[in-house]
Every structure is written in structure tokens, then in C-alpha cells.
């Protein structure tokens, strides 16, 4: 059976390749704004992940296992999405400076022939060093903040801001491998 990743993220593609060598990528057109945040980050990211997976299921004719994923950063019950510009990125990083925030990833694994859906989420606590305005500005100049929830990537230069994490590192990158491997096995995929 084909495995399909419903994501354009090169980070997710690279991580999934550690579990599965042969998979297809079909980018989801799911409207993330159609999901309302009701205060529960875990439920929210699972709903987003499922929406992406089901959107791709509707595009596929052959039998397949479709993996949908979404990652958000949360600080004091506020979701920090992908910054729209440098100013928003600066404000996000200033907010995270010296504080602990949470990174949530939702995963939905869907068998499009049986209709079976498995949804899970992972949460990791991340503590940032106290950052100076100059450090934040230097980071923003590198452009790495773009297309990253919370305006940073732990796997890149942004990793120097991270003092400690409690939980899954790969979750912070965008695809919690341990959780996903268990979900795929539960779906009958031999890894």
C-alpha cells in the first residue's frame, strides 16, 4: 500500500524518510482557517492534521495510507503561528525570550480504503535563553524565521536560543517520529 505525506515541508519529508524510504508527497489544500481554536492546543492540531490528511485522501484514487501533520507554538494559551513579516517575527521571539513555551504537533494517519483514522498529538516544552534585541535582529536577518511556527527552527540557527527541552525533539522540528512510528504500526504498516 502506498504511503502519502500530505505536506510540502522539506523538514517533514526528511524526517519521514528516516522511517519510510518509499513515499509520495501530495500537498494538501486544506484551509487551516476553517478550524476554530477553542482553547485546547492538542485537539486543535489534531483537527488540522486530520483536515490535511482527508483533503489529500479525496485526491487519491489508489489505496493509500495518508499522513497529515500540523505544528503550532503556544505561549500562555496564545498560538504563535508563522510570522507574516520581520516585525511579527521579532515580537514573537521577544515574547519567547527567557520563557518556556510549548510546541504541539498533531498527526492524523488515514487509511483511505478502510476509512480508519488514528489521531494523536505530542507536546514538548521548550525553554529559551534570554535574548537581546541584537540577537533577535541578527537571527531575523538570516531569514530562517519565515515559514516557521513561533518564528524559529530548532534544527537551524534558531537552535542556539534553546536552553533546554522536555519531550520529543523531532516534535519541535515538525514530525514526532516515535509517535508516528507507533501510529503507522497500529495502521498495519511494517517499518
Active site amino acids: 70
Q: How far apart are CA 12 and CA 18, in angstroms?
A: 10
Q: How far apart are CA 187 and CA 114, in angstroms?
A: 10
Is 174 strand, coil or helix?
coil
DSSP one-letter string for 23-47:
-EE------GGGSPP-S-HHHHHHH
Q: How far apart are CA 169 and CA 174, in angstroms?
A: 9
Amino acid at each position: 500500500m502506498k504511503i502519502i505525506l500530505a505536506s510540502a515541508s522539506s523538514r517533514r519529508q526528511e524526517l519521514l524518510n528516516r522511517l519510510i524510504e518509499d513515499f509520495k508527497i501530495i500537498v494538501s489544500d486544506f484551509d487551516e482557517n476553517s478550524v476554530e481554536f477553542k482553547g485546547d492546543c492538542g485537539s486543535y492540531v489534531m483537527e488540522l492534521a486530520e483536515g490535511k490528511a482527508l483533503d489529500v485522501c479525496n485526491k487519491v484514487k489508489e489505496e493509500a495510507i495518508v499522513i497529515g501533520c500540523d505544528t503550532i507554538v503556544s505561549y500562555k494559551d496564545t498560538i504563535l503561528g508563522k510570522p507574516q513579516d520581520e516585525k511579527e517575527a521579532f515580537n514573537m521571539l521577544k515574547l519567547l525570550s527567557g520563557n518556556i513555551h510549548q510546541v504541539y504537533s498533531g498527526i492524523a494517519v488515514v487509511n483511505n480504503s478502510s476509512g480508519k483514522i488514528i489521531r494523536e498529538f505530542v507536546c514538548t516544552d521548550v525553554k529559551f535563553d534570554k535574548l537581546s534585541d541584537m540577537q533577535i535582529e541578527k537571527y531575523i536577518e538570516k531569514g530562517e524565521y519565515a515559514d516557521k511556527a513561533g518564528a524559529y527552527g530548532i534544527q537551524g540557527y534558531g537552535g542556539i536560543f534553546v536552553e533546554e527541552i522536555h519531550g520529543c525533539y523531532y516534535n519541535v522540528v515538525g514530525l514526532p517520529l516515535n509517535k508516528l512510528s507507533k501510529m503507522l504500526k497500529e495502521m498495519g504498516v511494517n517499518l
